[in-house]
């Protein structure tokens, strides 16, 4: 048996594990049915050791999902404690409070057994199928409007499909063939990860992953803690307003540093609202820890050890920790705004010379996205989602990147793929010139996106956006970027809501530009 604490063995093994998790992600992308997974890559693959500690994730994983799935698996393991795990089992949920924050994502975990029959790991995946039923709009007032709710349940039992669960899903979604196809693609990705892990363990003579994973976790945790220890102890407060639904809301953040521990608390933030922009704590945690890692120690691959130094809290019933049955379908419209809280507090904590190395101005997050649904001219239902990325905030030493979804990793989908997904025509997709904030370095530009509805029966367009009242702000004297603008046939459209449109109506979305960095000399 190899010495798992040997640095060379650990580094080689770690790289190999990441490579076959990437292979698992490739299997998902190549077999998925819907463009949101296949093209926009709105998913994450995570491998866990036998104790449920995250070990590696695919390099294209969405930051939100690699932050939520380590929480989700704890609930899965507790739920399966009595029944136990068996080869061929697959457990799923879309519960927003223990999953990814809203019903539209499915979280899935499968146990990995060695050739000798020992439980050695878990393969996990979170992905966003094209539909989960309900009304997908920020207008919803409670979760019952938002679609099918799947409690923790076994989708596969000892390798056999749970036909009742599959039937329930198929009956409750608008495009069942795509949704079921995506679910089987998720199962396939778990199988690939399991097969590659077993081959690796046999090759190197490992009977368990526990010692190797502990060495990797300790290495990562130590690296992160050393970076935190270099920051002065103290508490740092930052607050700001965000668009909200019908009136502005407040996000208040206090970052506390004690030795090698960091804690972010959101006491003072606005109360939860009767609209779908509430953000469950599991998602709040994910989009707090991710930008903290980006600023503190982005070089080390993500795993359980990286998460240990951080604690995220928020009062119950606030916008960042709502209680069931709050509507949460548009939770990203709030969660993606938390990079502002992280960088705003860190700007006070870091020495001045380090601010210019680690932080960036506000990005155009959350980027607008729309869902166009209805029936084509043959009567077949369709549901198409489109991400419309804006500008990244300017960096301390260069301009921001244009048309990127940071802190999300979702990609812009090609026009050809979008037009093949339903009766729509993309009439324009261009840079929104000069929308980035002015500064020593300019914020990245947003884009102008125009869509014409071609269906004779029209369509329903659900709009999810922010950064209109409060556009992305600059840093260190940089100016704000341009705010979001959305129009239908040239007239202002709701920034958060659903609109019924007729054939040949045109939707125009102008995504925000990133904030500038540094004053113009």
pLDDT at 472: 97
Who contacts 247 (Cβ-Cβ below 8 Å, separation ≥6)? none
pTM: 0.94
Q: Which of 219, 234, 252 is the endpoint of a domain?
A: 219
| 473: containing domain | 360-521
Q: Is 8 helix (H, G, I), strand (E, B) or coil?
A: helix
CA dist 418 and 408 (Å) reads 20
- List CB contacts of 259: < 8 A, sequence separation 6 or more: 228, 229, 233
Sign of the CA dihedral running 220, 225, 230, 236: positive
Greater confidence, 97 or 208?
Answer: 97
Give the DSSP H or E segment for 220.
Answer: helix 210-229
The pLDDT tens digits of the residues spanning 371-384 come to 999 999 999 999 88
Asked whether the bond before 16 is cis by omega within 30 degrees of 0, the reply is no
- Asked whether residue 341 is domain-assigned, the answer is no
- Token pair recorded at residue 27: 């299997």
Tell me, yes or no, whether 273 lies in a domain. Answer: no
Tell me the mean pLDDT in the region 199-212: 91
pLDDT score of 11 more than 90: no
Rounded CA gap, 77 and 27, in Å? 25
327 found inside a domain: no
> Is 234 inside any structural domain?
no
Residues pairing with 510 in the sheet: 448, 485
Q: What is the pLDDT of residues 391-428, one digit of tens each?
A: 999 998 899 999 998 888 777 778 998 898 899 999 99
**Section 240-269 average pLDDT:** 97
Q: 467 near 366, Cβ under 8 Å?
A: yes
pLDDT, residue 300, reads 77
Domain limit, last residue, from 194, 219, 244: 219
The pLDDT of residue 299 is: 77
DSSP, res 465: -
Residue 147 lies in a domain: yes
Residue 283 is predicted with a pLDDT of 97
The set of long-range contacts for 429-434, using a CB threshold of 8 Å and a minimum separation of 24, is: 431/402, 431/403, 432/482, 432/510, 432/511, 432/513, 434/482, 434/513
User: In the 8-state DSSP scheme, what is residue 102?
Assistant: S
C-alpha closest to that of 94 among 66, 119, 48, 128:
128
Last residue of a domain, one of 167, 202, 219: 219
Q: Please check whether residue 33 lies inside any domain of the structure.
A: yes
Tell me which residue of 259, 446, 477 sits closest to 356, measured CA to CA.
Answer: 477
Q: What are phi and psi of 430, to 5 degrees?
A: -145, 165
Residue 431 lies in a domain: yes
The pLDDT of residue 6: 82
Structure confidence by residue, pLDDT tens digits, 140-194: 999 999 999 999 999 999 999 999 999 999 999 999 999 999 999 999 999 999 9
Phi-psi region of 477 (alpha: psi -120 to 50; beta: other; left: phi over 0): left
Residue 307 included in any domain? no
Into how many domains does the chain fold? 2
Where do the DSSP E strands lie in 11-93? 43-49, 54-57, 90-93
């Amino acid at each position: 048996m190899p010495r798992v604490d040997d640095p060379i063995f650990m580094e080689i093994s770690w790289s190999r594990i990441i490579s076959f998790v990437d292979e698992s992600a490739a299997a998902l992308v190549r077999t998925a049915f819907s463009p949101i997974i296949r093209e926009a890559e709105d998913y994450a693959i995570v491998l866990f050791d036998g104790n449920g500690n995250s070990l590696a994730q695919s390099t294209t994983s969405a930051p939100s999902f690699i932050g939520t799935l380590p929480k989700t698996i704890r609930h899965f393991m507790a739920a399966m404690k009595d029944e136990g795990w068996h080869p061929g089992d697959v457990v799923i949920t879309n519960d927003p409070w223990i999953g990814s924050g809203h019903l539209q994502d499915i979280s899935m975990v499968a146990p990995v057994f060695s050739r000798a029959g020992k439980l050695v790991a878990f393969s996990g995946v979170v992905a966003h199928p094209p539909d989960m039923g309900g009304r997908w709009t920020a207008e919803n007032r409670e979760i019952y409007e938002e679609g099918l709710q799947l409690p923790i349940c076994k989708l596969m039992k000892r390798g056999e499909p749970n036909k009742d669960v599959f039937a329930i899903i198929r009956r409750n979604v608008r495009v069942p063939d795509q949704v079921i196809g995506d679910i089987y693609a998720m199962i396939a990705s778990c199988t690939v990860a399991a097969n590659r892990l077993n081959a690796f363990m046999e090759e190197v003579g490992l009977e368990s992953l526990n010692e190797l994973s502990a060495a990797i976790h300790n290495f990562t945790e130590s690296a992160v803690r050393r970076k935190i220890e270099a920051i002065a102890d103290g508490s740092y407060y930052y607050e700001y307003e965000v668009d909200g639904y019908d009136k502005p809301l407040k996000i208040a953040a206090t970052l506390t540093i004690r030795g090698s521990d960091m804690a972010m608390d959101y006491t003072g933030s606005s109360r939860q609202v009767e609209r779908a922009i509430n953000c469950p704590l599991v998602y709040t945690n994910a989009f707090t820890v991710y930008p903290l890692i980006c600023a503190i120690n982005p070089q080390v691959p993500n795993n359980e050890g990286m998460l240990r130094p951080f604690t995220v809290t928020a009062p119950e019933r606030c916008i960042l920790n709502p209680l069931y049955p709050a509507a949460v379908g548009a939770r990203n419209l709030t969660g993606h705004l938390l990079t502002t809280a992280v960088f705003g507090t860190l700007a006070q904590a870091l020495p001045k010379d380090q601010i210019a190395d680690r932080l960036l101005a506000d990005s155009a997050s959350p980027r607008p996205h729309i869902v166009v649904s209805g029936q084509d001219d043959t009567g077949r239902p369709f549901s198409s989602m489109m991400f419309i990325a804006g500008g990244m905030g300017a960096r301390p030493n260069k301009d921001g990147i244009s048309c990127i979804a940071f802190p999300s990793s979702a990609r812009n989908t090609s026009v050809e793929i979008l037009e093949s997904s339903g009766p729509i025509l993309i009439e324009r997709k261009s840079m929104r010139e000069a929308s980035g904030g002015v500064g020593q370095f300019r914020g990245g530009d947003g884009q102008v996106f125009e869509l014409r509805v071609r269906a004779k029966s029209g369509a329903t367009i659900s709009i999810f956006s922010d950064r209109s009242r409060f556009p992305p702000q600059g840093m260190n004297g940089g100016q704000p970027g341009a705010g979001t603008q959305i129009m239908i046939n040239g007239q202002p459209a709701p920034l958060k809501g659903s609109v019924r449109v007729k054939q040949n109506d045109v939707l125009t979305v102008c995504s925000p530009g990133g904030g500038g960095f540094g004053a113009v000399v």
